Amino acid sequence: MRNGRASLAITLDRRKGKATVCTYQTTSLDVSGSGKGADGWFALSSASVYFDHPVHAAAEHTLNVDLLNLERGPGARVAVELDPVSARALAGAILEALEAAPPALVGGVSGATRCGLSEA
């Protein structure tokens, strides 16, 4: 399931005295995998990806990824905040690893095909 939500907010950056625009564009999808939190490993059921102000990372805006098990509540969450350069590098590395794997191990469809990219 994919669910894109978008809203627009204009906020005042008090540190710099200028307005910034945030889209709050969020993509949510069902996932299958495992994550490790403070209490150990747990099954993942959902992911949310959005570009926004970080909570912890030392950047003005980050790509934020929340990996969750909705049935287990807020304790079953892995959160990641990446600067844009790191986020693009990670996305590329994920696709590269999927492309390098034998098709039989990744469902017989290459990562480029799944992402709508050309095979050439």
Q: Does residue 56 contact residue 81 with C-beta atoms inside 8 Å?
A: yes
Q: What band does 119 get if pLDDT is binned at 50, 70 and 90?
A: very low
Bigger pLDDT: 91 or 19? 91
For 40, counting Cβ atoms within 10 Å of its Cβ (0-12 exposed, 13-18 middle, 19+ buried), the class is exposed
Residue 59 has pLDDT above 50, yes or no: yes
Query: How confident is the model over 48-69, as a mean pLDDT?
Result: 92
